């Protein structure tokens, strides 16, 4: 048994630090690296790609709406063409650092408001998928389970991987419990670690009302932006290890095919 843990990385900007990348990187298997539109800058991108390489972590792009001051969390309502071009630009920029550091770019996961908008809106999802495919049809589109992300990837002939969230409660229909709801966000490391292990072992997630939701994700999103978040990843790693579950990039199998 194996699972991937993905984590947003490289979200510092200029003189500002965000995230405990040095602590979190050795604990995860895939890094979603910011590309300068919601966070990061060229120097940060290079350092992040190097850090990922050093720890054998698979690198993906984490493109966003162009909104530094809003950290990519504001819904900019761009047209599909604008989204396609903005994503193309960002993928190229990160690809260049991967190339310069001698490692492949493996996946793409949209960030923040672009993630949410493209999960809901078929045209925006298509714009993202088109940008990805135009760069490299072997790139994996990582997105929300059951959303437009998967459908767009399929139409574009792109590999797609759905993600689950380690610290979010699910409703019986498989969707995330809205952030306002009591219990929507989990905080206890042991409980989260346990949940993650059971997702992988049982191929199911226990929903907030006790129902069992099928777990179709091949990667689990974790956070590394504060000491408590890193503590949670540590607990997950320990629990997975105990259960004999390896933490390995989801892209490993897919990418094996494309390798010579």
- Which residue's CB is nearer to a copy of itself, number 99 or number 191? 99
- Which residue's CB is nearer to a copy of itself, number 214 or number 227? 227
Beta carbons within 8 Å of 85's beta carbon, 6+ residues apart = 131
Question: Nearest approach, Cβ of 156 to a copy of itself (angstroms)?
Answer: 13
- Which residue's CB is nearer to a copy of itself, number 68 or number 204? 68
How many Å apart are CA 15 and CA 13, to the nearest integer? 6
Q: Are strands 160-165 and 140-144 parallel, antiparallel or unpaired?
A: parallel
Question: Nearest approach, Cβ of 121 to a copy of itself (angstroms)?
Answer: 15
Long-range pairs of 185-189 with CB within 8 A, sequence gap ≥ 24: 187/228, 189/231, 189/232, 189/234, 189/235, 189/236
Structure-token pair, residue 245? 């579950």
- Which residue's CB is nearer to a copy of itself, number 30 or number 88? 88
Question: Nearest approach, Cβ of 195 to a copy of itself (angstroms)?
Answer: 28
Structure-token pair, residue 161? 């991987």
Binding residues for a copy of itself, rule: CB under 8 A, are 12-18, 36, 39, 41-43, 45-46, 66-71, 73-78, 81-82, 85-86, 88-97, 99-100, 131, 134-135
Question: Nearest approach, Cβ of 103 to a copy of itself (angstroms)?
Answer: 12
| Residue whose tokens read 């999802």 | 125
Beta partners for residue 163, in sequence order: 144, 219
């Amino acid at each position: 048994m194996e699972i991937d843990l993905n984590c947003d990385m490289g979200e510092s900007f200029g003189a500002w630090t965000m995230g405990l990348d040095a602590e979190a990187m050795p604990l995860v298997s895939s890094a979603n690296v910011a590309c300068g539109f919601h966070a990061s800058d060229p120097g940060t991108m290079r350092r992040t790609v190097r850090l990922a390489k050093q720890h054998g972590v698979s690198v993906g792009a984490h493109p966003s709406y162009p909104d530094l001051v809003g950290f990519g969390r504001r819904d900019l309502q761009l047209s599909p063409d604008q989204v396609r071009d903005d994503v193309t630009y960002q993928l190229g920029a990160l690809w260049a650092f991967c190339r310069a550091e001698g490692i492949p770019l493996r996946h793409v996961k949209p960030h923040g408001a672009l993630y949410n908008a493209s999960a809901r809106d078929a045209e925006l999802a298509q714009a993202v998928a088109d940008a990805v495919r135009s760069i490299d049809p072997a790139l994996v589109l990582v997105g929300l389970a059951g959303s437009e992300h998967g459908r767009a990837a399929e139409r574009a002939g792109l590999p797609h991987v759905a993600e689950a969230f380690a610290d979010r409660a699910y409703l019986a229909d498989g969707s995330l419990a809205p952030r306002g709801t009591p219990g929507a966000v989990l905080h206890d490391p042991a409980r989260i670690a346990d949940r993650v292990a059971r997702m992988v072992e049982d191929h199911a997630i226990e929903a907030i009302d006790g129902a069992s939701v099928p777990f179709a994700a091949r990667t689990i999103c974790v956070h590394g932006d504060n000491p408590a978040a890193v503590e949670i990843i540590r607990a997950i790693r320990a629990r997975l290890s105990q259960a004999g579950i390896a933490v390995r990039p989801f892209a490993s199998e897919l990418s094996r095919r494309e390798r010579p």
